Structure 1
Amino acid sequence: MMGVFLILLWIMNMVQPNIFQAEGVQVFPPVNFTLTVSALAEVFLHWKPNPNQEQKNYTIRYDVEIITPVSEEYDTKKTHSFRTAVLHNGFLARIRTLLLFNDLQMKSDWVMGELKPPLGAAETSVTNLSCVTYITIYSTVSLHCAWFPGKRAPEDTKYFLFYRYKTYTEECQDYSKGKWNRNIECRFSRTHIDPEEVDNLIVIHINGSSKYAAIKPFQQLFNQNAIEKVNVPRNVTVFLEQNDLLAKWEKPISSFPEECFEYEFCLCNLKSGSKQILKVSSNDFRLRIDVTCRYSIQIRANHYICCERGFWSDWSEILYVGKH
């Protein structure tokens, strides 16, 4: 029993100095917290340490919480931060000071910051925005986007699309028009999107103008690999070796290596009408078949493992093997 008492007394002596030290310390919230739109769909958060905050031997960090549009929490020792987010519905964040010393952590009150949504009439912004990228034989990236006009957008509404990739921003110059002569599609034959990068964001911003209403802007973020329309596998060859069908091909035009791709192999028995679609993870394939039948073969590709899956490629040209 005496041993337990001595252990408890030792623990109290170890903990008490920290408790007493903490009681005399105040933690003040940061000051001059500002939110600034620094680029399309990018916010610059900036603040300053509270001048009343004691420095001494304390470690000072800051808790940052993004409340909208997407919840996120992180801490930093810096007094600024950049965040990429869609801003057409506004942006709300808060910060507080973290004071760390020994094994204790103290927190200040929160300080709020807000960016109001941009002006614009309800249901005038575009809807159903979709985008796709293509990698050309010259290793450049093209971009194609399409959308529907807002339900309450006046007939004279003109929409204008911009994309941002990293620090580069460009306005569309090549539009397709729909009903009432409004822009509903945009094409960039060449962009600054880097085909060798993995999972970077593409920002799409569409605003508009009308004589009869303020058009509300719209933004959307796309993973660059998730919207890539993968190229078709190249140099596909098929042949028979006794009772086996053998197929070989090369990976699509891409900066990614061979191991980053998966394939679907479509085999159709023209005699029976049966059809198989088989998953393949290599650049060749062997399958036992009925050599008395004639078959059609097509292959398509997608990337995986190395990055986010994109859109499946188109099917390769039809090849035939077997007896007529």
Structure 2
Amino acid sequence: VQVFPPVNFTLTVSALAQVLLHWKPNPNQEQNNYTIRYDVKILSPVPEEYDTKKTSSTRTAALHNGFSARVRTLLLHNDLQMRSDWVKERLLPPPGAPETSVTNLSCETHISISSTVSLHCTWLPGQGAPEDTEYFLFYRYEAYTEECQDYTKGKWNRNTECRFSVTHIDPEEVDKLIVIHINGSSKYAVIKPFQQLFNQNAIEKVNVPRNVSVFLEQNDLLATWEKPISPLSNRCFEYEFYLFNLKSGNKQILKLSSNDFRLRIDVTSRYAIQIRANHHICCTRGFWSDWTEIIYVGQNNLENPMSWILTVLCVSMCCMFLLVAIIC
């Protein structure tokens, strides 16, 4: 049996950083008692191979350097598998002068107490971009695309920062992709666009732990706190517990997976304590939260500067009175 390659293979940009691959079965292909599937291989920008029984497929990828793929027919019968030749297509990179696209793109999200998600991105102008270049940022999440309206300008009065105070990013989703697209304009050059994909959890700036409580119980330090504002459950978080002994100068950072803690300490010392959080297990790690405000616990009477000064003054006065009494 001869296996014929698919026909009418096309690549279409269907959204920002999204490509629709579509083909049709070869009309000459014999199908009696055979199962037809298709082997798809993405060649660039990120290699990937998979098979499907459908005649279309959608892939998300950064397209500023183009996209290429190939597809072939798989004919299956019992344990027998036969393959056709490959059919290849490509999307050319969008036009633009070299080194005019942005560099050093960095983005961060934050979940508010009202469960909305903000987005903040920064970048540097391309080294080859003319001084009059203006950049414009768009983000896409699932089917929603939005252009930035809140820019901050850098050197040469060019946009180098963007903020979305509210987005359509769903805080309850896990490891979904956020597409960032930045294009530009200039009177003196065609500015090459740039795209980058971000995992929504990987760029989340985690909120700080809440309601931290620290107290002493005999020779033990006890600490409890609540997880950060997040739709994720308690088990999804890890913590770093910073403990500073003000008497000895000793510092410790302890890694914890629960939101309570007990530690034997030196009760004659005073301690400074801070906690920060990140998520793991349930999703990709994000950016560590800020440290909580410093909490002090314990006594350090031996090193209380005011007490020490008063003690020295009292001893000095007593010695002076004794000396005067002896002389007189």
Residue 118 in structure 1 maps to residue 94 in structure 2: yes
Partner SS state of residue 49, structure 2:
strand
Residue 45 in structure 1 maps to residue 21 in structure 2: yes
Spell out, residue by residue over 1:268-301, the C-alpha distance to the aligned partner (whole angstroms, 9 max, x if none): 0011111000011111100000010100000000
- Corresponding letter in the other structure for 1:289: I
- Corresponding letter in the other structure for 1:53: Q
Give the Cα–Cα distance (whole angstroms) in 2 for the partners of residues 254 and 30 of structure 1.
47
Q: Spell out the pairing of 1:200-211 with structure 2 (5 A cutoff).
A: 200-211=176-187
Aligned to 1:4: none
Residue 54 in structure 1 maps to residue 30 in structure 2: yes
Partner SS state of residue 129, structure 1:
strand
Give the Cα–Cα distance (whole angstroms) in 2 for the partners of residues 262 and 32 of structure 1.
51
Aligned to 2:237: 261
**Contiguous gaps of at least 5 residues in structure 2:** 301-328
The one of 285, 306, 327 aligned to 1:309: 285
Q: Spell out the pairing of 1:86-105 with structure 2 (5 A cutoff).
A: 86-105=62-81
- Corresponding letter in the other structure for 1:98: L
Aligned length: 300
Aligned to 1:132: 108
Q: Spell out the pairing of 1:177-188 with structure 2 (5 A cutoff).
A: 177-188=153-164
Aligned to 1:239: 215
Instruction: Normalising by structure 1, report the TM-score.
Output: 0.92
The one of 209, 213, 216 aligned to 2:189: 213
Aligned to 2:201: 225
Give the Cα–Cα distance (whole angstroms) in 2 for the partners of residues 37 and 45 of structure 1.
9
Instruction: Normalising by structure 2, report the TM-score.
Output: 0.91
Following superposition, the deviation at residue 303 of structure 1 comes to 0.4
Give the Cα–Cα distance (whole angstroms) in 2 for the partners of residues 231 and 100 of structure 1.
52
Give the Cα–Cα distance (whole angstroms) in 1 for the partners of residues 20 and 117 of structure 2.
29
The one of 213, 223, 248 aligned to 1:272: 248
**Contiguous gaps of at least 5 residues in structure 1:** 1-24
Give the Cα–Cα distance (whole angstroms) in 2 for the partners of residues 152 and 273 of structure 1.
51
- Corresponding letter in the other structure for 2:100: T
Give the Cα–Cα distance (whole angstroms) in 1 for the partners of residues 207 and 242 of structure 2.
17
Give the Cα–Cα distance (whole angstroms) in 2 for the partners of residues 77 and 281 of structure 1.
44
Following superposition, the deviation at residue 102 of structure 1 comes to 2.2
The one of 262, 267, 272 aligned to 1:291: 267
Give the Cα–Cα distance (whole angstroms) in 1 for the partners of residues 160 and 211 of structure 2.
36
Aligned to 2:325: none
Larger Rg: 2
Following superposition, the deviation at residue 309 of structure 1 comes to 0.4
Percent same amino acid among aligned pairs?
Answer: 82
**CA root-mean-square deviation:** 0.5
Give the Cα–Cα distance (whole angstroms) in 1 for the partners of residues 115 and 34 of structure 2.
52
